[in-house]
Amino acid sequence: MSFLEIRRHSIQGFGGSLSQEGVELARKAGEQTGPFSLVLTSPIPRAQETALAMGFAIHSTEEWLGFLPDDLQWSLDYRSGFSAFYKAFQENSSFQKQAQIYKDRIQACIQSLDSSQNALIVSHGGTVEMLAIACANNTDFQSWNFAVSQMQGVRIEWNEHGFQSAVFLE
């Protein structure tokens, strides 16, 4: 079984780039995961720097892995956490539509991977929650009363039947 890891970027320093502490945190996380046959990041430099500091070459930067679309970005604070994003997903058709777009895009990206290959996405707070909910909406995100902090994320297993449940990565 393969897995998809979706992580928030590491700790920022001056000018939005990673701080030394952020580089070290990303290196440590990289030593504890992988390998990855596909690495996607947001085009925002701190996401790219995180993947590289983790020790993984970037295969593609994708605009859609940046911030949430404006109509969603401003309707729910990115620090609201998984349970708030999941509630919005259940109740708001705009969140449902965006989740389907994310799921379709991720599936298109990973379809060429075989059953022994894994993928990494490095993105941002709020977007990580939405990507996870889009792919593993059978997970009990309602009980996840927290948001992702730097370098935290979600691991979602997938197989020939699609995405399975998610586990939180500290």
The distance in angstroms from the start CA to the end CA of the chain is: 21
Task: Return d(Cα 73, Cα 167) in angstroms, integer.
Answer: 24
Question: Do the beta carbons of residue 170 and residue 29 sit within 8 Å?
Answer: no
Q: What integer pLDDT is reported at residue 1 of this predicted model?
A: 81
pTM for the predicted model, two decimal places: 0.96
Q: Is the dihedral of CA 140, 22, 45, 110 positive or negative?
A: negative
> From its phi and psi, is residue 16 left (phi > 0), alpha (psi between -120 and 50) or beta?
left
| 65 exposure class (CB count in 10 Å sphere: 0-12, 13-18, 19+) | buried
In order along its 170 residues, the chain shows pLDDT tens digits of 899 999 999 999 989 899 999 999 999 999 999 999 999 999 999 999 999 999 999 999 999 999 888 888 888 888 999 999 999 999 999 999 999 999 999 999 999 899 899 999 999 999 999 999 999 988 999 999 999 999 999 999 998 888 998 999 99
The arrangement of secondary structure in 2-169, i.e. its CATH architecture, is 3-Layer(aba) Sandwich (3.40)
Strands 2-8 and 153-159, bridge-based pairing = antiparallel
